[in-house]
Amino acid sequence: MTTDEENAPETAPALQDNIRKIEELSQRLIAALSRRAPAHPGLQGPNQELYTNAATAYWSEWMHNPAKLLEHQITYWSKSLVHFIEAQQQFARGQLAPPEDTTPDDPRFSNPLWKTHPYFNFIKQQYLIYAEAMREAVEKIEDLDETEKRRLRYFSDQIVDMLSPTNYLGTNPDALEKALETEGESLVKGLENLVSDLEANEGELVVRLVDEDAFEVGGNLATTPGKVVYRNHMFELIQYAPATEKVRETPLVVFPPWINKFYILDLKAQNSFVKWVTEQGYTLFMVSWINPGPSYADVGMEDYIEDGFLAAMREVKAITGQERLNVVGYCIAGTTLALTLSLMKKRGDKSVRSATFLTALTDFSDQGEFTPFLQDDFVDAIEEEATEKGVLSSKIMGRTFSFLRSRDLVFGPAVRYYMMGETPPAFDLLYWNGDGANLPAKMAIQYLRRLCQANDFAEDGYELMGETLRLRDVDVPFCAVSCESDHIAQWKDCYRGFQQTSSRSRTFILSQSGHIAGIVNPPSKKKYGHYTHDDLRLDHENWRAEAEFHEGSWWPRWDSWLARRSGKWVPARKPGDSQHPPLAEAPGTYVVAPPTD
């Protein structure tokens, strides 16, 4: 007599082995999660007041205009029910096919089975009907101010994206097909990736976006030759070796953001801004900021200005023997450069001949896509966290930036690496993006409270270092470069800020692409173009409508602008001098050092 077990097909040895591996990895997963430290609850989402206000507004709308909300609910129910009936009718006809699918194209649902297989198609269409209903429900709430509406829109979108069927193994045809093709090996590799990421981050889930073993700072990244010629508790100053026999007389100093590392401007040789600048004949200095630890808790914006910006300018003038110099500030360093220029005007310091601002915000009256995170509930939680730890952790900032593009930087990668077992790519830009730095507690709080929330610099003035610093004090010739699809420093907001300066020589360039790709855009790639227009009196919409488009990188245009402000040609300068002997080879020690104690 045979039994059901005797008649059952044998499990393939490879599949059995993979099942055992999954059981072993599950134990490591539990152990990794047990090490996770409790996170500050205020950093996990908005406080309940947002949802309470939304519910109150929704209920008020129901009381005053029930027909409107009933219409919305009935529309959702009818769409969902009609689709269910159509699917049932297909089955009743004996057809293993989905009903007509008129849903818009969505890269998440690119597998043909989402259109052809009745099970997957039914799930997809029901999800998209729900997603549309959720968005409409949010838009129909009227008794919320615009800030709360923007926050509710953002957080509801996060919930909708999280619930996408592509995020779950049982409803993701790509992951299921891959598991069958590999006899479960893809799931084993995916679980290994998940466990490794949890173990590397003390139980905190941070999706690894890049193959970290493929890069080394100073090895195949940040390789432009140079020397560290000065060092203090805030930064190392790198002077790059000349690439031409003669150089422009006026030196150039670049201040990168200290949220990340400076080598975004010196990635691989073929897309290195640093290398390209030296090849155009400039004496280039780069500030490499320290990665602060808890001992830097009381370091504020004033320290970054006095012991950072002004100290670097002082040393560059001493090394080159020049009384004036050109400066560049990128992102938050561009914001701080504007503060520094205002302070220098108050002090009568005319050392800066020209300034270049890369994706730099100076007017925060519109908080853009950061609106959900710049309200008091989040900022209060950040202040508490930073005050307790002494720093605002790079992980918190990295997670915030990632969730501004959660489909591309959270959910999508999690599916590929955890459910399909793919290996993260060897992508230099993503490697840099994951190599963040902490912010000192005092500085982070000043930045969030005084600049982002109160907008002091652009409005009543920022009281700092015994002076009232105002945006309108900035009067040096400047070139500002912003990026068309930048979601961190939206170009229209950057433009509005630079309109408020009092400089008589103002140049604004709008590059195609985003916060990084629009800046790191070497001419050799011939990839992204840029827009220019001389009249900065126009509002941003008219400026963009009338601007002239130019093919290719903005770098050569900026070089022509800078060359006119860089003096005559002089013999090339070797890094350092007798008072500034080389302390280390570029890229220096601060860029690879762990956070200070």
The answer, yes or no, to whether residue 4 has pLDDT greater than 60, is: no
Q: Has residue 520 been placed in a domain?
A: yes
Contact 69, 61 (CB under 8 A): yes
Q: What is the pLDDT of residues 531-568, one digit of tens each?
A: 999 999 999 999 999 999 999 999 999 999 999 999 99
Q: Has residue 111 been placed in a domain?
A: no
> Other C-beta atoms within 10 Å of 146: how many?
8
The answer, yes or no, to whether residue 11 has pLDDT greater than 60, is: no
Q: How many whole angstroms from its chain centre is CA 377?
A: 22
Q: What is the pLDDT of residues 471-503, one digit of tens each?
A: 999 999 999 999 999 989 999 999 999 999 999
> Other C-beta atoms within 10 Å of 262: how many?
27
> How high is the pLDDT of residue 484?
97
> How high is the pLDDT of residue 562?
98
User: 287: which DSSP letter?
Assistant: E
Q: What is the pLDDT of residues 527-538, one digit of tens each?
A: 999 999 999 999
The one-letter code for the residue type at 216 is E
The answer, yes or no, to whether residue 86 has pLDDT greater than 70, is: no
The answer, yes or no, to whether residue 68 has pLDDT greater than 60, is: no
Q: What is the pLDDT of residues 269-316, one digit of tens each?
A: 999 999 999 999 999 999 999 999 999 999 999 999 999 999 999 999
Please identify every residue annotated as catalytic. 331
> How high is the pLDDT of residue 73?
53
Beta bridge partner(s), residue 507: 479
The answer, yes or no, to whether residue 363 has pLDDT greater than 90, is: yes
Average pLDDT over residues 210-218: 93
The answer, yes or no, to whether residue 232 has pLDDT greater than 90, is: yes
> How high is the pLDDT of residue 405?
84
- Cβ-Cβ contacts under 8 Å for 222 (sequence gap 6 or more): 262, 263, 266, 267, 586, 587, 591
Integer Cα distance of 520 and 427 in angstroms: 14
Long-range contacts (CB closer than 8 Å, 24 or more residues apart) made by 455-464: 455/363, 455/364, 455/365, 457/335, 457/338, 457/339, 457/342, 457/362, 457/363, 458/362, 458/363, 458/364, 458/365, 458/497, 458/500, 459/365, 462/339, 464/301, 464/302, 464/305, 464/339, 464/343
> How high is the pLDDT of residue 152?
84
What domain range is 368 assigned to? 226-585
> How high is the pLDDT of residue 62?
42
> How high is the pLDDT of residue 84?
60
Q: Has residue 362 been placed in a domain?
A: yes
Integer Cα distance of 334 and 344 in angstroms: 15
Contact 125, 31 (CB under 8 A): no
Q: Has residue 168 been placed in a domain?
A: no
As a whole number, the mean pLDDT across the chain is 88
Q: Has residue 54 been placed in a domain?
A: no
Tokens coding 352: 């800066």
pTM for this entry:
0.88
DSSP 235-303: EEEEEEPPSSSEEESS-EEEE--SSB-GGGGSSSGGG-HHHHHHHTT--EEEEEE----GGGTT--HHH
Contact 483, 514 (CB under 8 A): yes
Tokens coding 26: 């599950």
- For the ranges 31-45, 52-66, 242-256, 345-359, the lowest mean pLDDT is seen at 52-66
Contact 257, 336 (CB under 8 A): no
Q: How many whole angstroms from its chain centre is CA 403?
A: 9
Tokens coding 524: 């050799």
Beta bridge partner(s), residue 247: 570
Q: Has residue 142 been placed in a domain?
A: no
Radius of gyration, CA atoms only, the chain: 28
Contact 344, 351 (CB under 8 A): yes
Integer Cα distance of 464 and 519 in angstroms: 30
Cis peptide before 595 (omega within 30 of 0): no
Q: Return the H-helix or E-strand segment holding 469.
A: strand 467-469
- For the ranges 93-97, 293-297, 578-582, the lowest mean pLDDT is seen at 93-97
- The rounded percent of the chain whose pLDDT value lies above 90 is 63
Q: Has residue 85 been placed in a domain?
A: no
Tokens coding 349: 């310091």
> How high is the pLDDT of residue 8?
46
The answer, yes or no, to whether residue 72 has pLDDT greater than 60, is: no
Average pLDDT over residues 205-214: 89
Beta bridge partner(s), residue 288: 236
Dihedral over Cα of 115, 118, 121, 126: its sign: positive
> In this structure, what CATH number is given to the domain that contains residue 317?
3.40.50.1820
Q: Has residue 39 been placed in a domain?
A: no
Contact 419, 187 (CB under 8 A): yes
Backbone angles phi, psi at 326, to 5 degrees: -105, 145
- For the ranges 96-105, 222-231, 340-349, the lowest mean pLDDT is seen at 96-105
Average pLDDT over residues 424-440: 93
Pairing, β 352-358 against β 478-483:
parallel
The answer, yes or no, to whether residue 221 has pLDDT greater than 80, is: yes
Average pLDDT over residues 73-91: 59
Tokens coding 494: 């950057």
DSSP 348-360: T---EEEEEEES-
Question: Which of 74, 130, 85, 124 is closest to 102 using CA atoms?
Answer: 124
Integer Cα distance of 93 and 88 in angstroms: 9
The answer, yes or no, to whether residue 147 has pLDDT greater than 50, is: yes
Number of domains the chain is built from: 1
- For the ranges 256-270, 305-319, 403-417, 481-495, the lowest mean pLDDT is seen at 403-417
pLDDT band at 64 (very low <50, low <70, confident <90, very high): very low
- For the ranges 13-22, 311-320, 446-455, 553-562, the lowest mean pLDDT is seen at 13-22
The one-letter code for the residue type at 561 is W
Integer Cα distance of 559 and 328 in angstroms: 13
Integer Cα distance of 17 and 35 in angstroms: 28
> Other C-beta atoms within 10 Å of 207: how many?
22
Average pLDDT over residues 121-132: 90
